[in-house]
């Protein structure tokens, strides 16, 4: 299923900057960045549960926020892109 993850981490302190790096790195492990604080992650239910739990533990809920949008398996009909930085087809074969 495709999950869209957005976050806003307060970076006025060094702890906030550290949290931002941790959240960004965790999201990069599961998907692709499509905007500065927006990731598309193609995951199964178990991966999503694990990712969500880890991200929730990383942030400070008094200063930061996370949003999870579950677009499901038929996401290709729900996502439209206009402009630069075309996204990668996560279902296509990866050729190295």
- Quick one: pLDDT band at residue 82, thresholds 50, 70, 90? confident
- When mean pLDDT is compared across 32-46, 49-63, 67-81, the lowest value belongs to 67-81
Q: Which of 55, 15, 53 minimizes the C-alpha distance to 37?
A: 55
- Quick one: pLDDT band at residue 88, thresholds 50, 70, 90? low
For the stretch 53-67, pLDDT in tens is: 999 999 999 999 999
Q: Is 25 exposed, middle or buried (0-12, 13-18, 19+ CB in 10 A)?
A: exposed
Sheet harboring 31-35: ordered strands across?
31-35, 38-42, 2-8, 65-72
- Judged by DSSP in three states, 8 sits in strand
Both structure tokens of 89: 């087809």
For the stretch 16-41, pLDDT in tens is: 999 999 999 999 999 999 999 999 99
């Amino acid at each position: 299923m495709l999950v869209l993850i957005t976050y806003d981490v307060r970076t006025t302190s060094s702890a906030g900057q550290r949290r931002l790096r941790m959240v960004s790195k965790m999201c990069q492990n599961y998907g692709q960045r499509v905007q500065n604080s927006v990731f598309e992650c193609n995951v199964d239910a178990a991966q999503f549960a694990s990712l969500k739990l880890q991200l929730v533990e990383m942030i400070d809920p008094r200063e930061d926020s996370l949003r999870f949008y579950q677009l499901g398996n038929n996401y290709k009909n729900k996502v439209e892109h206009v402009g630069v930085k075309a996204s990668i087809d996560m279902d296509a074969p990866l050729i190295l």
